[in-house]
Amino acid sequence: MRSPGATKSGREMPPRQSLDWERDGAQWPLRQYSRFIQTPRLRWHVQYAPHADAQAPTVLLLHGTGASTHSWHGIFPLLTAHCSVLALDFPGHAFTATPAPAQVAALFSLPGMAAGVAELLAQMTIRPQTIVGHSAGAALACMLALDGWVQPRRIVSLNGALVPLDGLAGQWFSPMAKLLAKAPFVPELFSWQAAHPAVLQRLLDGTGSTLDAQGRALYLQLISQPAHSAGALAMMAHWDLHTFWRRLPTLTTPLTLITGEQDLIVPPAVAERAAAALRQPAPAPMIRLPGLGHLAHEEQPQRLATLLLQQLG
């Protein structure tokens, strides 16, 4: 029996991206900033806007599970007047390639993904002074610092998924995600179901956020692609937040916690628990956003951009 990534001749198929740039990228938000960067293990899609002033700080934007660079399209141009800005698609998400079968476990684990992003930053010779992570992207931002890949002046957690699930849910989730990730029909089934507008709306309603028509259309474009859904599922299957949680108190990089009070996925109590776990000299600042949900940065990008610029120092 040949491996899922092999052809009949026994040779491995080249890694695929979830969306096709020629077909799906024609109207992609902020396309003018897009470029593809080849690292030793992966071909990444990034959006990069270098500032004219070489001394201006650089901000790295890390999206959440199942999202992509599109989630920053409202904030990105608001930051470019003040700093260099880099956003990227995670492995297997949107236009970044799906890792080759031999690299799946390495590039989809939390430490492995941090190492992969570090390879990308080294390839681009970029050293971010501020890292902004949304949801799972916040854990990735912290892991980059914990493993010594970067030395930012500040990390900003936006509705950060920094705490593992407790009790039976935590015991059930990871093994089930691993099981589903191995079933080849699951991404196709999920994408087929989620492509229905009513199903998509229920998924978005579950975030506590209200998106405009463009935002809904972009998520529909993403989740209707089985490869993108497979990338998100593989990421959930390979992350170990329990080990991450044990290491989080040793984080020395200053951390700001921004939380939407209407977030139904990562409620404000998660940020409170994370703040209490840190052993930093000063308490982690916590900023609450009344009326906003899990996708707060997509609901009110101007408001969030103002808050992020304040974190640049």
pLDDT at residue 186, rounded to an integer:
52
**Structure tokens that stand for 172 in this block:** 């059930």
pLDDT at residue 194, rounded to an integer:
60
Please, what sign has the CA dihedral across residues 67, 68, 69, 73? negative
Residue 3 maps to a domain: no
Q: Report the alpha-carbon distance of residue 312 to residue 254 in Å, rounded.
A: 12
Residue 302 maps to a domain: yes
Based on the structure, what is the number of domains in the chain? 1
Residue 268 maps to a domain: yes
Three-state SS at 84: strand
Can you give the pTM of this predicted structure? 0.90
Looking at the chain, how many residues does it have?
313
The owner of tokens 């490869």 is 227
- Burial class of residue 211 in the structure, from the number of CB atoms within 10 Å of its CB (0-12 exposed, 13-18 middle, 19+ buried): middle
Q: Which stretch of DSSP H or E encloses residue 58? A: strand 58-62
The owner of tokens 């920053």 is 72
CATH number at residue 105: 3.40.50.1820
Residue 250 maps to a domain: yes
What is the rounded radius of gyration, in angstroms, for the C-alpha atoms of the chain? Answer: 18
The whole domain housing 260 covers 21-164+240-310
| Ordered mean pLDDT values, 10 residues apiece, the chain (313 residues) | 34 60 95 97 97 96 96 98 97 94 90 97 98 97 98 97 66 46 53 70 92 94 88 88 95 97 95 94 94 98 96 78
Residue 234 maps to a domain: no
Residue 126 maps to a domain: yes
Residue 132 maps to a domain: yes
Q: Report the alpha-carbon distance of residue 123 to residue 18 in Å, rounded.
A: 22
Q: Report the alpha-carbon distance of residue 145 to residue 247 in Å, rounded.
A: 11
pLDDT at residue 172, rounded to an integer:
41
Residue 67: name the closest of 221, 184, 193 by CA. 221
Residue 9 maps to a domain: no
In the chain, alpha helices (H): 21-24, 76-79, 104-108, 110-124, 136-146, 167-182, 185-194, 197-205, 213-223, 226-238, 241-247, 268-277, 296-299, 301-310
Q: Report the alpha-carbon distance of residue 218 to residue 133 in Å, rounded.
A: 20
